[in-house]
Amino acid sequence: MTQRVVLAYSGGLDTSVCIGWIAEATGAEVVAVAVDVGQGGESLDVIRKRALACGAVEAEVVDAKDEFAQEYCLPAIKANGLYMDRYPLVSALSRPVIVKHLVAAARKHGADTVAHGCTGKGNDQVRFEAGISSLAPDLTCIAPVRDYAMTRDKAIAFAESKGLPIATSKKSPYSIDANVFGRAIETGFLEDIWNGPIEDIYEYTQNPATPREADEVVITFERGVPVAIDGRAVSVLQAVQELNERAGAQGVGRIDIVEDRLVGIKSREVYEAPGAIALITAHQELENVTVERELARYKRQVEQRWSELVYDGLWYSPLKRALDGFVEEANEHVSGDIRMTLHGGRAVVTGRRSGESLYDFSLATYDTGDTFDQSQAKGFIDIFGLSTKIAARRDLAQ
């Protein structure tokens, strides 16, 4: 039986060329797999037909938008997943769901190798290959751009020589990756970190400086899951999509960051993730109301490590799975409503209410009805600060 290679297929120039390139380099048949995680653009049917026209022996397309939102974006919301406290893991979250379908296709079609179009200096090569090795340690991975020196010039020449049905003349100055959770823009003039972003690079967000009326929204959560917007029941996918539109119209979710790549270099990235930022902001505030202090403090440490693991491509790792259990438990009481004002590039919380609230008005108030016994505070302070007081006596005596 002829060897088969499953290729993560986007429909663009590089992965279209990869089909024939892999066949010539390895003698294998190529099965193309395209996974829709809400990136927009061409229809899945058009992409499937292009893969076949470029030489794939079979082509599969998967509508994974709901799966992506429910099984990958939702855990990130519950974990307040922000790499370096700012980046909502837009690209990192989509890789494990794509990996899952690549492995399933390899099993279905009897392939022993999975291929992707990533370069040798980015994070995605690690995310694909570490994910594949976690789900299917027996599979081999290849990356033509990295392993076979498939430069863009060579790719264009190959496409033209083979008459592939793909445009080869126009090249965007940017590298763009998009899904329903956000959009990432890099390279081009952005590689000079002194250059500011221009409005032309954005699609999910409007200019926050443009005068417009504010938008008020109420997001309802049940155990950390967004279940309603302004009282209307929504799925996780619908929540992200609606807030992409509404928060995006207010310029919410623009991020310009020099981040630490896993491979050891610093990279300037521009992101726009209006729905993600709005939902994480709301979720964080509802946790402030409903999660006990010591649990909340420890969860913030877990959130940082969780985000690093996902960014580094270790979605399927034992530690990530263990931390998922902690995050689920920590969200047990995160239910209620958050009111937010979306305006001028910001999502600002203006109201909170929850049947699981730990906020006690009678303890918090300074007015009549205060039930907090202030007379106990002096003794508490004396004991709380005792060890520091003893150390200070020693230090001052030296």
CATH of the domain at 386: 1.20.5.470
State how beta strands 58-63 and 29-36 pair. parallel
What is the spatial distance between Cα 384 and Cα 350, in angstroms, rounded to a whole number?
34
CA-wise closest residue to 10 among 176, 241, 151, 133: 176
Annotated binding residues for ATP, written as ranges, equal: 8-16, 117
Q: Whose structure tokens read 């939902």?
A: 279
Residue 189 and residue 278 in one domain: yes
For residue 304, give the 3-state DSSP assignment: helix
Residue 124 and residue 195 in one domain: no
| H or E element in which residue 321 lies | helix 318-330
Residue 61 and residue 42 in one domain: yes
- DSSP class of residue 196 equals P
Q: How many CB atoms lie within 10 A of CB 354?
A: 18
Q: What is the pLDDT of residue 170?
A: 53
Q: Decide: pTM greater than 0.85.
A: yes
Q: Per residue in 156-208, pLDDT tens?
A: 888 888 888 887 655 667 888 999 999 999 988 999 999 999 999 999 999 99
Residue 187 and residue 68 in one domain: no
- DSSP class of residue 83 equals B
Q: Per residue in 123-136, pLDDT tens?
A: 999 999 999 999 99
Q: What is the pLDDT of residue 278?
A: 98
Q: Which of 132, 156, 171 is the last residue of a domain?
A: 171
Distance set, CA 264 to CA 122, 260, 267 (Å): 10, 7, 10
Domain contains 338 = yes
What is the spatial distance between Cα 137 and Cα 144, in angstroms, rounded to a whole number?
20
Residue 11 and residue 155 in one domain: yes
- Mind telling me the catalytic residues? 14, 95, 124, 175
Give per-10-residue mean pLDDT for the chain (398 aa): 91 91 93 96 92 96 98 98 98 98 97 94 94 97 90 85 76 84 93 96 97 98 98 98 98 98 95 98 98 98 98 98 98 98 98 97 89 92 96 94
Range 174-193 burial, b when 16+ CB lie within 10 A, else e: eeebbbbbbbbbbeeebeee
Range 35-51 burial, b when 16+ CB lie within 10 A, else e: bbbbbeeeebeebbebb
**In degrees rounded to 5, what are phi and psi of residue 262?**
-60, -35
For residues 164 and 155, the answer to whether their CB atoms sit within 8 Å is: no
Q: How many domains does the chain have?
A: 3
> Exposure of 71 by Cβ count < 10 A (0-12 exposed, 13-18 middle, 19+ buried)?
middle
What is the spatial distance between Cα 52 and Cα 74, in angstroms, rounded to a whole number?
34
Annotated binding residues, written as ranges, equal: 8-16, 87, 117, 119, 123-124, 127, 175, 259, 271
What is the spatial distance between Cα 178 and Cα 46, in angstroms, rounded to a whole number?
18
Residue 84 and residue 220 in one domain: no
Annotated binding residues for L-citrulline, written as ranges, equal: 87, 123, 127, 175, 259, 271
Residue 217 and residue 117 in one domain: no
Q: Domain of 366?
A: 361-397
**How confident is the prediction for the chain on average, in pLDDT?**
95
| H or E element in which residue 49 lies | helix 44-53
| H or E element in which residue 221 lies | strand 215-222
